[in-house]
Chains A and B, each alone.
Chain A
């Protein structure tokens, strides 16, 4: 039945998306995802060779702005909305997995 996405793949994808999902959710949703992906079979049957992908609804090009400073946001207002802040910075739990 699930030949487009397995529970293992769904779990991997949930991790990539940083979504903690329960085993129950994994079990219930994988077939639902499979169902949506299965609908794609109609497209799989098409010959799409020679068709250019469409990424832009309206063909604009070269939209640029001047290199001029404009007023930004107030730090106090922004940090007041933050879950945690210290010393003018956003505070988060330790970042594991090394420096990037």
Chain B
């Protein structure tokens, strides 16, 4: 029985890059001494009142608009539950009227994952457990609470259950992160907790209703996300195929044993008793404000991939375009093209050699442009160009023609090359016979002989063309 379909929805919490907290003016900073960024609101002191951070609203709108959401008038609600890192015993969040609704995120391959909502809420503090095993709560003797993080602004981004594979989930998170960083809303680092991902996973047979879903928590990297989803999918399939039923519950991913474990069942779930937060007033960003935010958005990764693909003639969902955009080097490729370079060749060079160059490579665009021209015109072979490129990178620039001359790279005259090829054919008679009989791999020995005879200066593409022509004649 293998016509199972995986269904995944992702809930991503993102810490906003504001100077202060969502409802009070304490610093929003990671890594400070415990309980040094506190005030009456953060502590939930009697009499404290929240006041909304306008910049947090701006960043939340940037996220919504970058995800193609509609920004709408909204309100805040209290979500009531007891936990030591919740100083008020309620979290101020958004319930039935969130700020951003009905958007989508486009994966590199072009598939759109629906975004149901992206709403604002405040973060909780941090608890550390002392005396148990591995810092887990199980078996701990006591717990210590640090409220520095309490009140930090979050946006919770809820996708629709449109994801159908672990790979799509990984792409979604990677792309989302790129968008968040691009708009300046968050540094979105999973390892620091400024981006947290929970996965809702279920399985079903296509054409039947969705299965019962489980929420998976404690996924701390993109790679873990993929592993956790794959494990959970298998767990649910095995369970159902052996006659069991999936129980709706929250499960904890354990990176060490590679499994998910029950954390909370639905019966344990709290009744949050949502009601409108009476200490805040509604938020209705003006059309002017929304437009201003929209107009100030940078070009987003999906659009940058499209532009680079159009410029270079390479597929937008291909490895080269994706990785160059992800590194922020697409502007560089455009700059090379702008000064007369060949965009397609430039893309290849940047993809292969610029992994450590960051988003502002040192090599002047003109130098790369010149090199692409040399290769395109046949003045150097692809292999020779690669060598020149390495020198350019090592030196932070240079004159490709001069480097080529210094290395003794010249183009070999085509008729002279034909003579060398014919000599190699004669020399490698067995290989030639196999090649003529249809064994394409046999060409390798002949090409090798040509390279040796020309000290590597022959252009492999031209050699191959000559061989193919000889074979068919």
Contacts and interface: CB of A to CB of B under 8 A. Distances in A.
A and B in contact, CB less than 8 Å:
yes
Given A16-B270, A64-B57, A90-B145, 6 more contacts: A56-B278, A73-B40, A75-B36, A91-B144, A96-B137, A99-B252
Given A61-B284, A69-B27, A90 B144 contact: yes
B82 to A, nearest CB: 5
A55 B263 CA distance: 36
A94 B83 contact: no
A92 B137 contact: no
Interface residues on A, range: 35 or more
B282 A61 contact: yes
Q: Which of under 10, 10 to 19, 20 to 34, or 35 or more describes the interface residues of B?
A: 35 or more
B118 to A, nearest CB: 19
Contacts of A73: 38-40, 43
Tell me what chain A mostly uses at the interface: helix, strand, loop, or mixed: loop
A54 to B, nearest CB: 11
Contact of B55 (A16, A67, A86, A97): A67
A100 B264 CA distance: 10
B19 A68 contact: yes
Contact of B143 (A16, A62, A78, A94): A94
A63 B281 contact: yes
Nearest to A72: B39
A87 interface: yes
Contacts of B373: none
Lowest 6 CB-CB distances: which A-B pairs, in order?
Answer: A67-B55, A64-B54, A70-B25, A89-B144, A72-B39, A90-B145
Contacts of B82: 18
Given A56-B281, A61-B283, A69-B26, A75 B38 contact: yes
A50 interface: no
A99 B43 CA distance: 21
Interface string A50-89: 0000011000111111111110110100110000001111
